[in-house]
Amino acid sequence: MNVKPKPKPSKEVISKLGEKGPQTRITCGPTVVQQDLLRVHRGLDMLKVSFWVEWYDETLLDDLDRRKRELQTTDFDSEVFIKEHYWEWNLLRSGTKHFNYRLVSGDVKLMINRRKAEGTVPTVRLEIGSLSAQANCFTIYEQVVFFLESHGAKIVKEHISEVHLAADFIGLDIKKLYVESRDNWIARSTTFSVFFKHWKLTGVSIGKGDLMMRIYDKVLELGHAGHKQEVFAELWGVEKYNDLPVTRVEYQLRRATLRQFSGEVGTINTVKDLLFALKSLWNYCTQDWSRFTETIVNRNHNQSKAKISEFWEAVQSVVWTGVHEFQRGKVIAHKDIDALRKQARGILMSICAAFGMDSGDIKTITDVAHVIIETDLQEFFKDQEEFIKRMDKKKTAIFNKCDIPF
């Protein structure tokens, strides 16, 4: 059943406040949105970074190990481990699946293990939560890097594991936008969810996991997080956090998606790469991956010609730093092709050895190996449906999946 859309709000309704609001402290540039009638605060709402580290001094690791064992003899869940420079780190009594030690400072988490830098699992994981990310994300990142390096760590590799890009539209009520109508959405994901509380709309989401969009009532969410209210009131330039309605548009991008973007400067691996890519990521998410239209979309015709809503024009016009040169494309295979070839070579040599062939007769060995491969693949291909199914499964495993989301 098609529902007639509500009238779209005018620019004056979208914002009764004429001047731009406070700027985020984590990205550069004086302009946040390219429409004068909107007040928008944008910034990162979550950042997770993985580091592969070589320890040339293991004093920190030894201290962590000793203090953790001492802590486990008490009833405390955590204790102050170190106070220096910008930090007061609390050491937790237990680790995680991949990390032996967990340090916490507010909503900043630092997880460490004793693995080698050559491994698949990172040595250090940094997670910057909502409050810290909105207020001072990249400064915190630099301070953590300094902390690690000052304690004997040499960072040899760095990956962005997850990032959330968020834009808060101050004075804009989500209940007046009609975003709950899935018929007005054009998106590359078919997963669409709507959320209500007391029969009132609180938010919608599209996608899941590696790439996901959320639009929700930010004021309602802050009502259950008293420790965040004062900070966001300051960021939004209001007396109290609930003085005005605030609608948030947020995109969650994880490693599996980020690694598919590339440009002239390379791929998105480090935090520095992310700074270059913020504009490209927002443009891709709001223009190519998801769009909200003015009227119901006719899915039987060219959807690209559907006119986007005035609200979505504002979403697309939010300005981020970076150069618009990163494009999403086919991901580079994460499996080591050379290693697979070495494995196949060893198996074929074993088969030829089982036939008792002359070890120095390379021509006969290669001819027999060729016949074995061709015969076995042709035999398997007789069940064409199963062959294609297995090939597609292997292609998916190579090109679309990550063994570990780091």
pLDDT digits (tens, 9 = 90+) for 290-328: 999 999 998 877 787 889 999 999 999 999 988 768 888
CA dihedral sign of residues 184, 185, 186, 189: negative
Residue with tokens 């190996």: 369
Q: Is the pLDDT of residue 11 over 80?
A: no
pLDDT at 265: 76
Give the number of other Cβ atoms within 10 Å of residue 319's Cβ: 17
Q: In terms of pLDDT, which residue wins out, 232 or 346?
A: 232
pLDDT at 25: 34
Instruction: Enter the pTM of the model.
Output: 0.75
Of all residues in the chain, the percent with pLDDT exceeding 70 is 86
Provide mean pLDDT across the span 179-206.
Answer: 95
pLDDT at 2: 40
Q: In terms of pLDDT, which residue wins out, 125 or 17?
A: 125
The chain-wide mean pLDDT, for the chain, equals: 85
pLDDT at 356: 87
Provide mean pLDDT across the span 280-286.
Answer: 96
Q: Which of 54-68, 105-119, 214-228, 321-335 has the lowest mean pLDDT?
A: 321-335
User: What span, in angstroms and rounded, lies between the C-alpha atoms of 121 and 107?
Assistant: 23
Q: What is the pLDDT of residues 25-44, one digit of tens each?
A: 333 333 455 554 579 999 99
Q: Which of 165-169, 205-209, 291-295, 372-376 has the lowest mean pLDDT?
A: 372-376
Q: Which amino acid is at 154?
A: K
Q: What is the pLDDT of residues 256-266, one digit of tens each?
A: 999 999 887 78
Give the number of other Cβ atoms within 10 Å of residue 388's Cβ: 11
* pLDDT band, very low/low/confident/very high, at 53 (cuts 50, 70, 90): very high
Q: Is the pLDDT of residue 63 over 80?
A: yes
pLDDT at 13: 35
Provide mean pLDDT across the span 44-53.
Answer: 97
> What are 125's strand-pairing partners?
50, 111
CA angle 46, 48, 53 (to 5 degrees): 155
pLDDT at 385: 83
Lookup: tokens for 337: 């092709």
The DSSP string of 87-145 is EEEEEES---SS-SEEEEETTEEEEE----TTSSS-SEEEEE-HHHHHHHHHHHHHHHH
User: What span, in angstroms and rounded, lies between the C-alpha atoms of 317 and 40?
Assistant: 10
User: What span, in angstroms and rounded, lies between the C-alpha atoms of 255 and 8?
Assistant: 36
Q: Where are the domains of the chain?
A: 11-328, 337-399
Q: What is the pLDDT of residues 115-172, one digit of tens each?
A: 999 888 999 999 999 999 998 899 999 999 999 999 999 999 999 999 999 999 999 9
Q: What is the pLDDT of residues 81-108, one digit of tens each?
A: 888 767 799 999 999 999 999 999 999 9
Q: Is the pLDDT of residue 78 over 60?
A: yes
- Contact criterion met (CB below 8 Å) for 210 and 169: no
pLDDT at 85: 67
Give the distance from CA 191 to its chain's centroid.
Answer: 18
